[in-house]
């Protein structure tokens, strides 16, 4: 049994605490939400842990994570360890690590995949940092990862930053996979030949080369809403797809699928795309192609 301080008890952090406790570990959780927190402050969390302490951060990327790291820097002691398990940009990790190292505090960045299902099936973990800190935290990693061989759910990906870089690429791939499934769904829906789209997609779950956990989740969604018409086609992006495309540019690596999937998310947020209005206008100008004029309630351009 080991102790862990866990900061951030949202959808993933809450379930991570439960999975670790089920594995027999002691977890002291802190969250601003008084309904889920175990302690009232970061100072109380640190005070509840015996040295050498391990504290895992699961808060939003950017300033919230950076501020939490700086607060911990003043509360923790030499030999303690901080793990950032959020979706931070890998470029933040070197600064966080250097700041903590001045006080003799270790730092690991850990990409965590598993979403709300991780409590039941475990989390895929990609870690960056020094080997000694990885070994210190290994009981925690082993409890969080899926059952089975360690190498199939855990990787010490490299030095500081490697964990979040790996998770960034992972999420970029996820963008492309989801977009491919979505386009396939739309094409099946558009066809007059395919009369049972949910059954067709469900049949892909066994034996086909496109079977995957994401496909299983699409089938689950179709089971409850066969046309997916309860949803609006508006899709946010949390940053990792953008960063993946930026790094592809920086390394001169062609990534057309991931790039297209990212831009498709941008397009999903436009009720009336200015770009598509321009394309329609051009087609009308050079080829006399018909155009659909915007109605008074559409929010589009002039109908004159």
Give catalytic residues, as residue numbers.
Answer: 167, 174
Are the CB atoms for 62 and 212 separated by under 8 Å? Answer: no
Beta-carbon-side half-sphere exposure of residue 64 (alpha carbons within 13 Å): 13
| Nearest residue to 126 (alpha-carbon basis) of 148, 151, 91 | 151
Place of tokens 């409890």: 143
What DSSP designation does 229 have? T
Phi and psi, residue 299, nearest 5°:
80, 10
Torsion (CA) 239, 214, 267, 200 in degrees, nearest 10: 180
ω into residue 52 within 30 of 0, thus cis? yes
List the alpha helices (DSSP H) in 145-208: 162-190, 197-202
């Amino acid at each position: 049994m080991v102790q862990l301080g866990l900061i951030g008890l949202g959808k993933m952090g809450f379930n991570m605490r439960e999975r670790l406790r089920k594995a027999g570990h002691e977890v002291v959780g802190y969250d601003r939400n008084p309904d889920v927190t175990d302690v009232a402050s970061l100072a109380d969390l640190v005070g509840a842990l015996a040295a050498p302490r391990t504290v895992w951060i699961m808060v939003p990327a950017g300033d919230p994570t950076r501020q939490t790291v700086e607060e911990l820097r003043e509360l923790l002691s030499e030999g303690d360890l901080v793990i950032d398990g959020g979706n931070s940009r890998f470029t933040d990790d070197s600064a966080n690590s250097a700041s903590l190292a001045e006080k003799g505090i270790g730092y690991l960045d850990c990409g965590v995949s598993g979403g709300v299902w991780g409590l039941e099936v475990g989390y895929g973990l990609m870690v960056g940092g020094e080997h000694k800190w990885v070994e210190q935290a290994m009981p925690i990693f082993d409890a969080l990862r899926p059952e089975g061989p360690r190498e199939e759910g855990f990787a010490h990906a490299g030095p500081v930053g490697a964990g979040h870089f790996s998770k960034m690429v992972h999420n970029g791939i996820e963008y492309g996979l989801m977009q491919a499934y979505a386009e396939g769904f739309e094409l099946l829906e558009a066809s007059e030949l395919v009369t049972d789209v949910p059954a067709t997609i469900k049949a892909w779950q066994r034996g086909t080369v496109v079977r995957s956990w994401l496909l299983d989740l699409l089938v689950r969604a179709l089971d409850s809403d066969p046309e997916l018409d309860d949803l609006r086609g508006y899709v946010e992006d949390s940053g990792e797809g953008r960063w993946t495309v930026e790094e592809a540019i920086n390394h001169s690596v062609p990534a057309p699928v991931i790039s297209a999937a990212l831009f498709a998310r941008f397009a999903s947020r436009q009720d009336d795309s200015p770009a598509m209005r321009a394309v329609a206008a051009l087609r009308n100008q050079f080829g006399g192609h018909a155009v659909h004029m915007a109605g008074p309630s559409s929010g589009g351009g002039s109908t004159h």
